[in-house]
Amino acid sequence: MKFSANLGFLWTDLPLPDAVRAAHAAGFDAVEFHWPYDTPAADLRAALEETGLPALGINTVRGEGNGLSALPDRVEEARAAIDQAITYAREIGAVAVHVMAGFSEGEAARDAFVGNLRHACDAAPDLTVLIEPLNRHDAPGYFLSTSAQARDIIATVDRPNVKLMFDCYHLQIMGGDLTRQLRDCLPVTGHIQFASVPDRGPPNGGELSYDHVFAEIARLGWEAPLGAEYKPRGDTGATLGWMDRYRRA
């Protein structure tokens, strides 16, 4: 199996270019970012080219919450954030942009989200546009919270480059039955992330068996790197024993 280091959580004590180098030294196959915008794109791209690690994606800016794209009264700001993310992604060679919905509900919010996603897809046909359900415990009030809702949004947007960010941590908390969700969602999935449940630590404890989940992902034929988006709560390098284990599996 291949793994991507999410540098929004891993090696946060280092500047992003150095975190890329640390991920490479640790044996990761790719990297991904939350909000890298304070780092000059040229510096980040240089580290990516130096290490040969692909950049899988970045998020749109959070605004005052977890995004802007499902806020009906902030469409102009949401599209500016999308355009910013597309520009930065292209500058560093990233292949995906995660469009964050924000805290909202109702039909007007859904319409705004669909419209903004179509804007993203049409503006960046060369990129994958990702949407990610967040669980209601960590992000109460976030517009998108289940894989079923995400699949409905993807069908409505009706663009080939809009895909689901399947985060095992969030979706286990929201719906459980994770391997069935994986099978149902695979046709519209653009990236898979993981962390233990419920503490969002490394994938070697908690209530979710990643022995089972990773075996199912492999059985389904998924070959892209899986995103390690967990909170190490200490030195990142000291938490990486799981990676050798699953590479050997």
**Are 31 and 3 in contact, with CB atoms under 8 Å apart?**
no
Task: Please pick, among 49, 77, 132, 223, the residue that the annotation labels catalytic.
Answer: 132
- Record the tokens describing residue 136, joined without a space: 């209601």
Task: Please pick, among 64, 76, 91, 229, the residue that the annotation labels catalytic.
Answer: 229
**Are 159 and 127 in contact, with CB atoms under 8 Å apart?**
no
Instruction: Determine the number of helices (DSSP H) and then strands (DSSP E) in the chain.
Output: 9, 8
Is 105 considered catalytic here? no
**Are 142 and 66 in contact, with CB atoms under 8 Å apart?**
yes
> What is the rounded CA–CA span in Å between residue 49 and residue 32?
14
**Are 72 and 120 in contact, with CB atoms under 8 Å apart?**
no
Ranges assigned E (strand) in 12-157: 30-32, 58-59, 96-98, 128-131
Non-local (6+) Cβ contacts of 57 within 8 A are 32, 33, 89, 94, 95, 96, 97, 98, 128, 130, 191
- Record the tokens describing residue 45, joined without a space: 């791209």
Is 223 considered catalytic here? no
> What is the rounded CA–CA span in Å between residue 91 and residue 41?
6
> What is the rounded CA–CA span in Å between residue 4 and residue 193?
9
Question: So which residues are the catalytic ones?
Answer: 132, 229
